[in-house]
Chain A
């Protein structure tokens, strides 16, 4: 059923455009992720969950939400 509908589908360029976009973007972020220059930065970023904000006693600094 889907076959008979999609067989008549006349936009075969659509998946091809998406495939090209995917390949280009995939290449770009793999390049960016594995750039040697970014290694130190990523190591620092990965520590964010472990770096809790320091706890203090209430009212000792500027109050903000």
Chain B
């Protein structure tokens, strides 16, 4: 109930104004970074269709640009849109100006600085190598500080509000702020080697578990809950009707925050826990459909009686379409988490197709709808061109459909070709590149679809620019009564009272999230206790460790996985299924999530050094039809032999059993191993100076991957034979 409409006797209303300047800044940042994110997306899409688009420039290669694209899309584009929408709606729902203009400005410029830092580091290979959390430790700290600034500004506004009730949209914002903080801090724990280099605190399986707890819930609490909050505010505003069912919104909120964060274990439960636990995970994945679709239905049903606005108003059209794609993506997500479906879809292009149905279909479409509502309001004018808005809609929709359909076709084709076996149990397509060549036309179709989406975005920028230019900004003053006990109606229910106590409400929300987190994060944090340590698994040599850092720097994990699943065709194609013991020294883990190229878990020793040398110079020399970029700069950059010891020292602190003597002799050891590799290459006609170059270190690392595990298997076999002999005696 609005406090203004209540009888306050002799009490006078207060006057105030909203800080819309900060909202405008975030709106401008949204469209600017959105264009950058889409341009990067289109660029890497064409790079996947043809390797020459990498232009032989290190900072333009796919492996470096892909993390920049994902960070720009999630944190720059969607992040700025979230802040714009929250700051606009939060003030109006609470009838109060933001807590501090200064904090708002620090928030804005701090966030832009973080984005610029990402743009200045990722293309240069400065990365942690953890998907969607690639930014190095100083930027991680900056993110934490700015997030706290945002939280103080947000909760401070709640404290000084003039509306007692906290509308459901703000519940979603609270869940977002609290959960993102927990996710970011836990996943970003790392130990610095230098100002721009660190190693993850976690290793191998534990790192994978923590990373995908973060990855799953980053989608939930950065790309879903804040946008649902925005949906609950902006759709009613756009159609001038209250939300279809406030009751449903309550159930939607509590169910979503409770289930979403602990539905994450369906990633873990895939071929993991005992049967009862798998069933539990499956049930909760299916349960996630209910709150997701509850929200979608609530949003769409809010349009009851005004469906004609979907035809006439670009903002409503975009919002309705966003909800439709939200429904599709949240159906597909749980579907993909089902074990048998996941066996087909994992590591294929189906996954990027699913992800983009969410980020373009749900996030971009909703942002477009919100901006078409917001910009005319902020600049006090009318939308420049509804016709252009509708044309933009069709460009975006057609482009998205081209993207998603091409990735479905590519993903299913890949999966079927990877797993195809003949009657003799041999692979029908033993050469991985055959499957790449087959789906390349789909990569072209995806790139063209992405271009359509980019064009639609440029149309929106033009439309919004013309709209803002035609507007005239006026300082508007509002009035509202301060809240006191009289704003709480007689016989208020306990929950109603609770809503008036935002801090306690926030704590309860946090508890709901933490209970769910416990299911996934507790076993994750304790995982290393359950990994059997095997003496045959040795730490990387100094040169291999540095070579691994090059692997991380070049973003090889964006196209190559390093884990063989216990599936028949994978074992036939790559070798023995991976085991947890193999990765105990991998800070960070490098399993990847996509196989544009083949898995590398068993690549060590498979080819001679010369094969790798040629492969890094030009992959087409050894694999006709390969899409991999050339890495010429690895042949010119010298190995910093003296910088390897500090890396080993940090690894030692993280539990990798390097002795002090090994660390002191790191440089000499690395030089010796480099010389050995170079000698073999020189015999094949390579110049002798190659022994000091980065490519040798990378070859050393590649040749080491999976090698130790081979000796474990031999030991076990030998051990079994000994047991058999002992029993016979």
State whether B15 touches A62 (Cβ < 8 A).
yes
- State A7–B268 Cα separation when bound (angstroms): 11
User: Which of A8, A12, A33, A61 sits near B14, CB closer than 8 Å?
Assistant: A61
A49 neighbours in B (Cβ, 8 Å)? 89, 92-93, 167, 169, 232-233, 236-237, 242-243
Nearest-neighbour CB distance to chain A for B328, whole angstroms, equals 26
- State A8–B89 Cα separation when bound (angstroms): 48
Within 8 A of A (CB), among B648-662: none
State whether B254 touches A26 (Cβ < 8 A).
yes
Nearest-neighbour CB distance to chain A for B211, whole angstroms, equals 12
State whether B479 touches A56 (Cβ < 8 A).
yes
User: Which of B1, B4, B515, B523 sits near A18, CB closer than 8 Å?
Assistant: B515
Q: A2-B208, A26-B258 are in contact. Are A58 and B247 (CB under 8 A)?
A: no
Proximity string of chain B (559-594) to chain A, C-beta cutoff 8 Å, 1 when within and 0 when not = 000010000000000000111100100000000000
Nearest-neighbour CB distance to chain B for A57, whole angstroms, equals 7
B246 on interface, CB distance cutoff 8 Å: yes
- State A13–B715 Cα separation when bound (angstroms): 36
Nearest-neighbour CB distance to chain B for A62, whole angstroms, equals 5
Inter-chain contact total with CB atoms closer than 8 Å: 174
B95 on interface, CB distance cutoff 8 Å: yes
Proximity string of chain A (45-58) to chain B, C-beta cutoff 8 Å, 1 when within and 0 when not = 11111111111111
Chain A CB within 10 A, most for which of B233, B272, B578:
B272
State whether B254 touches A58 (Cβ < 8 A).
no
Nearest-neighbour CB distance to chain B for A29, whole angstroms, equals 5
State whether B205 touches A45 (Cβ < 8 A).
no
State whether A65 touches B237 (Cβ < 8 A).
no
State whether B530 touches A5 (Cβ < 8 A).
yes
B277 on interface, CB distance cutoff 8 Å: yes
State whether A48 touches B254 (Cβ < 8 A).
no
Chain B residues within 8 Å of chain A by Cβ, number: 79
Q: A8-B530, A65-B16 are in contact. Are A33 and B274 (CB under 8 A)?
A: no
A3 neighbours in B (Cβ, 8 Å)? 271-273
Nearest-neighbour CB distance to chain B for A59, whole angstroms, equals 8
B209 neighbours in A (Cβ, 8 Å)? 2
Nearest-neighbour CB distance to chain A for B593, whole angstroms, equals 14
Q: A1-B205, A50-B237 are in contact. Are A7 and B274 (CB under 8 A)?
A: yes
Q: A22-B259, A43-B246 are in contact. Are A65 and B530 (CB under 8 A)?
A: no
- Select the stretch in B315-323, B400-408, B470-478 that faces chain A: B470-478
B531 on interface, CB distance cutoff 8 Å: yes
User: Which of B97, B205, B232 sits near A5, CB closer than 8 Å?
Assistant: B205
State whether B250 touches A56 (Cβ < 8 A).
no
Q: A4-B580, A33-B250 are in contact. Are A41 and B15 (CB under 8 A)?
A: no
- State A57–B15 Cα separation when bound (angstroms): 9
State whether B519 touches A18 (Cβ < 8 A).
yes
Nearest-neighbour CB distance to chain A for B679, whole angstroms, equals 36
B495 on interface, CB distance cutoff 8 Å: yes
User: Which of B251, B478, B527 sits near A53, CB closer than 8 Å?
Assistant: B478
State whether B478 touches A56 (Cβ < 8 A).
yes
A59 neighbours in B (Cβ, 8 Å)? 15, 477
- State A59–B478 Cα separation when bound (angstroms): 10
Chain A residues within 8 Å of chain B by Cβ, number: 52
User: Which of A12, A25, A47, A61 sits near B15, CB closer than 8 Å?
Assistant: A61
Within 8 A of A (CB), among B473-495: 475-480, 482, 489, 493, 495
User: Which of B92, B248, B523 sits near A9, CB closer than 8 Å?
Assistant: B523
Q: A41-B496, A53-B4, A64-B16 are in contact. Are A2 and B251 (CB under 8 A)?
A: no
B240 neighbours in A (Cβ, 8 Å)? 50
Q: A33-B247, A48-B167 are in contact. Are A1 and B578 (CB under 8 A)?
A: yes
State whether B580 touches A1 (Cβ < 8 A).
yes
B687 on interface, CB distance cutoff 8 Å: no
State whether B479 touches A53 (Cβ < 8 A).
yes
B522 on interface, CB distance cutoff 8 Å: yes
Closest to A65 in B: B97
Chain A CB within 10 A, most for which of B268, B477, B530, B580:
B477
Within 8 A of A (CB), among B85-135: 89, 92-93, 95-97
B637 on interface, CB distance cutoff 8 Å: no
State whether A6 touches B273 (Cβ < 8 A).
yes
Interface residues of B (CB under 8 A from A): 1-2, 4-5, 12-16, 89, 92-93, 95-97, 160, 162-163, 165, 167, 169, 205, 208-209, 232-233, 236-237, 240-243, 246-248, 250-251, 254-255, 258-259, 262, 265, 268, 270-274, 277, 280, 475-480, 482, 489, 493, 495-496, 512, 515-516, 518-519, 522-523, 526-527, 530-531, 563, 577-580, 583
A-B contact pairs, 12 of them (CB 8 A): A2-B268, A5-B580, A6-B268, A6-B527, A9-B523, A11-B522, A30-B251, A33-B250, A41-B493, A51-B2, A51-B5, A54-B478
9 closest A-B pairs by beta carbon, nearest first, are: A53-B478, A64-B14, A46-B242, A8-B530, A42-B246, A46-B246, A3-B272, A61-B15, A33-B247
Known: A45-B1, A54-B4. 9 other contacts (CB 8 A): A2-B268, A6-B527, A18-B518, A45-B246, A46-B246, A49-B169, A50-B236, A50-B242, A65-B160
